[in-house]
């Protein structure tokens, strides 16, 4: 944290406004609250007959997805279009990067086409920061998930969902359950919750899926599900990141569900008005059963809807910094 205070934050311009959105780390409560407030102003756009505002008309936003994703890419595309921007979806597997062209060459060519923003999803941690450092001054970069490092817009749509249901963060106990070790979402959620002043953040999972430095993230570690979600206001279930696991970290998915899968019975340990969240996609019968996923306390589909408003907010704030707003 001291290093962050001494080093200029690449995400901010000289006036402290959002220029890139790469990580929750280094951003203060006021800026996160501004993102949430701006998202609130966009939330009603989806209910209109014409689901557009002219804020980014004439701007070009490029989705650079080096990892496959349906929900994240689709919500970014919808968010950009609702801001009236033009959207370019780059098919990385068929692009020149697969023919030997370097990533920087690809960026320079896109900049030559006068693209204004890159939305980047990449399997390597730090990829979005690398692109932001090398992008032209007029280009903003938004991190749509990089390796195990960060997924800041997912964390902010989760914060938006929590605030809409629970209001003040300062009274909330939030339990995050599952594969913390491999989850970029969990890291961003923990940072956002602590920055916004949550009363307590807990992470729950088997020892093999909890990072060794977990307490330093600002969360209390539990290895028992009922203990971890006890009296919690919010329960966030995480997907098992099987594609990032190496070695036998779990005996079986069946045994994982027996110990950490969320059922209606186990949910009784949380507060009666606790909400259940999941960044998706859900492995039903592994992280939770269908009764919980589709039950009255689940706000999972609301998270997806809120993702559009939050991503609209981030895009609008970053592009206004570059002279793209009203």
Question: Residues 272-283: pLDDT tens digits?
Answer: 999 999 998 899
Domains in the chain: ranges and CATH: 2-150+305-321 (3.40.50.1370), 152-303 (3.40.50.1370)
Residue 157: pLDDT above 70?
Answer: yes
Provide the mean pLDDT of the chain: 90
For residue 1, the model assigns a pLDDT of 39
Residue 7: pLDDT above 60?
Answer: no
For the chain, what percent of residues have pLDDT higher than 70?
Answer: 89
Average pLDDT over residues 37-49: 92
Residue 144: pLDDT above 60?
Answer: yes
Say if residues 208 and 181 touch (Cβ distance below 8 Å): yes
For residue 244, the model assigns a pLDDT of 43
Range list of H helices, the chain: 2-6, 29-42, 71-82, 103-112, 127-134, 152-166, 184-195, 225-229, 253-260, 264-267, 290-293, 300-321
228: exposed, middle or buried (Cβ count in 10 Å: 0-12, 13-18, 19+): buried
Question: Residues 293-303: pLDDT tens digits?
Answer: 999 999 999 99
The confidence band for 322, taking pLDDT boundaries of 50, 70 and 90, is low
Beta strands in 147-228 (DSSP E): 173-177, 200-204, 220-222
For residue 98, the model assigns a pLDDT of 54
Q: Give, rounded to a whole angstrom, the gap between the first and last alpha carbons of the chain.
A: 34
DSSP state of 70: S
DSSP state of 100: T
Classify 178 in phi/psi space as left (phi over 0), alpha (psi -120 to 50) or beta.
Answer: left
Residue 180: pLDDT above 90?
Answer: yes
Residue 80: pLDDT above 70?
Answer: yes
């Amino acid at each position: 944290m001291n290093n962050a205070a001494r080093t200029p934050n690449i995400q901010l311009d000289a006036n402290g406004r959002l220029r890139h959105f790469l990580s929750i780390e280094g951003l203060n409560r006021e800026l996160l609250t501004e993102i949430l407030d701006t998202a609130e102003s966009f939330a009603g756009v989806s209910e209109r007959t014409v689901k557009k505002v002219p804020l980014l008309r004439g701007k070009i936003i490029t989705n650079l997805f080096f990892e496959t994703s349906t929900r994240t890419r689709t919500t970014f595309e919808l968010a950009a279009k609702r801001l009236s921007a033009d959207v370019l979806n780059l098919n990385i597997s068929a692009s020149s990067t697969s023919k030997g062209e370097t990533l920087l060459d690809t960026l320079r060519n896109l900049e030559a086409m006068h693209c204004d923003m890159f939305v980047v999803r990449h399997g390597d941690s730090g990829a979005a920061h690398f692109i932001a450092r090398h992008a032209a001054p007029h280009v903003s970069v938004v991190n749509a998930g990089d390796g195990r490092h960060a997924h800041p817009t997912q964390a902010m749509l989760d914060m938006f969902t929590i605030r809409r249901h629970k209001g003040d963060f300062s009274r909330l106990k939030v339990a995050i359950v599952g594969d913390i070790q491999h989850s970029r979402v969990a890291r961003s959620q923990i940072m956002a919750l602590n920055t916004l002043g949550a009363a307590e953040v807990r992470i729950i999972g088997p020892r093999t899926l909890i990072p060794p430095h977990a307490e330093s993230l600002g969360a209390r570690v539990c290895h028992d599900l009922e203990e971890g979600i006890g009296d919690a206001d919010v329960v966030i279930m995480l997907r098992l990141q099987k594609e990032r696991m190496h070695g036998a970290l779990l005996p079986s998915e069946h045994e994982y569900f027996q110990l950490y899968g969320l059922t209606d019975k186990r949910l009784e340990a949380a507060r009666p008005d606790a909400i259940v969240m999941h960044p998706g996609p859900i492995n039903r019968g592994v992280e939770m059963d269908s009764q919980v996923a589709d039950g009255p306390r689940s706000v999972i589909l609301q998270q997806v809807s809120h993702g559009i408003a939050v991503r609209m907010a981030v895009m609008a704030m970053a592009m206004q910094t570059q002279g793209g707003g009203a």
